């Protein structure tokens, strides 16, 4: 059998988990977008897109679970389509690609690592827009790292996510 006639891989019988991380440095003069929300008065993050580390970590976790690589592989910085793109746009497109690859999405959980913004007071709002974008439940939590590391020093923010996907209906 030649390389281009390999049989398709067996369909997984169990749900598949994925992991995702994203980090961006603060950059003065940029707007801050986190969890699909604008945070007025907060310093923004440097990036080719809006640098929403929560949405990006969620995308990375979804791609990881579905075996689709990662954010950079799917949304290259050379593509003007993603210049300035919102995290919600990237998350909606990531979810679309995961479903197109034959998976249903169970849920995504994301933790923001950093001191500011304080996500607790806007958690419900962020979870709503992220869930709408993914078409599946997305939960958001946060931790400060107690002053340690680059997040503790206020140099940037990190997002860490897990995602669960499961095989969709078998193709007929
Ligand atoms: N950006 C953040 C960071 C934390 N929180 C909330 O504060 C709690 C305490 O944080 P620790 O790092 O000291 O554990 C945390 O559990 C969150 O509820 C937040 O809202 N936004
Ligand atoms: C999102 C993309 C594309 O606009 O750019 P950035 O906003 O810089 O974000 P990063 O987390 O470095 O992922 C790479 C790219 O996919």
ipTM attached to this prediction: 0.90
Backbone angles phi, psi at 40, to 5 degrees: -60, 140
Q: Is 114 in the pocket of ligand 1 (CB under 6 A)?
A: yes
The conformational region for residue 36 under phi > 0 = left, psi -120 to 50 = alpha, else beta, is left
Q: 168 to each of 26, 65, 87, 101, 172, how far by Cα in Å?
A: 39, 13, 25, 9, 12
Which pLDDT band, with edges at 50, 70 and 90, does 157 fall under?
very high
pTM of the model: 0.93
Q: Is 110 in the pocket of ligand 1 (CB under 6 A)?
A: no
Is the model's pLDDT at 12 over the cut of 60?
Answer: yes
Check if the beta carbon of residue 53 is closer than 8 Å to that of residue 112.
Answer: yes
Question: Residue 113 C-alpha to ligand 2 middle, in angstroms?
Answer: 18
* pLDDT number for residue 2: 54
Q: In 3-state terms, the chain is what percent helix, strand and coil (to 5)? A: 35, 35, 30
* pLDDT number for residue 3: 57
Mean pLDDT of the chain: 94
Give the tens place of pLDDT for each residue, 78-124: 999 999 999 999 999 999 999 999 999 999 999 999 999 999 999 99
Q: Is 25 in the pocket of ligand 1 (CB under 6 A)?
A: no
What mean pLDDT comes out for the span 48-60?
Answer: 97
What percent of the chain is modeled with pLDDT above 70?
A: 96
Which pLDDT band, with edges at 50, 70 and 90, does 1 fall under?
very low
User: Can you give the residue ranges of every domain in the chain?
Assistant: 15-167
Q: Does domain 15-167 have CATH number 3.30.1330.50?
A: yes
Atom number in ligand 2 closest to CA 75: 16
Give the tens place of pLDDT for each residue, 159-171: 999 999 999 876 6
Q: Which residue has the higher pLDDT, 10 or 84?
A: 84
Question: Residue 15 C-alpha to ligand 2 middle, in angstroms?
Answer: 27
Q: Is 79 annotated as a binding residue?
A: no
Q: Which residue has the higher pLDDT, 77 or 63?
A: 63
Q: Which residue has the higher pLDDT, 154 or 2?
A: 154
| Nearest-ligand number for the alpha carbon of 144 | 1
């Amino acid at each position: 059998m030649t390389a281009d006639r390999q049989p398709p891989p067996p369909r997984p019988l169990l749900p598949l988990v994925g992991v995702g991380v994203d980090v961006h440095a603060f950059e003065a003069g940029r707007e801050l977008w986190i969890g699909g929300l604008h945070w007025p008065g907060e310093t923004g993050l440097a990036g080719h897109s809006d640098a929403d580390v929560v949405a990006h970590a969620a995308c990375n976790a979804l791609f990881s679970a579905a075996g689709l690589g990662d954010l950079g592989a799917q949304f290259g910085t050379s593509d003007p389509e993603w210049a300035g793109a919102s995290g919600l746009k990237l998350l909606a497109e990531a979810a679309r690609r995961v479903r197109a690859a034959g998976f249903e999405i169970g849920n995504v959980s994301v933790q923001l690592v950093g001191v500011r913004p304080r996500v607790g007071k806007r958690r419900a709002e962020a979870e709503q827009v992220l869930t709408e974008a993914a078409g599946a439940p997305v939960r958001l939590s946060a931790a400060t790292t107690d002053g340690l590391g680059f997040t503790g020093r206020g140099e940037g923010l990190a997002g860490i996510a897990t995602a669960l996907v499961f095989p969709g209906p078998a193709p007929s």
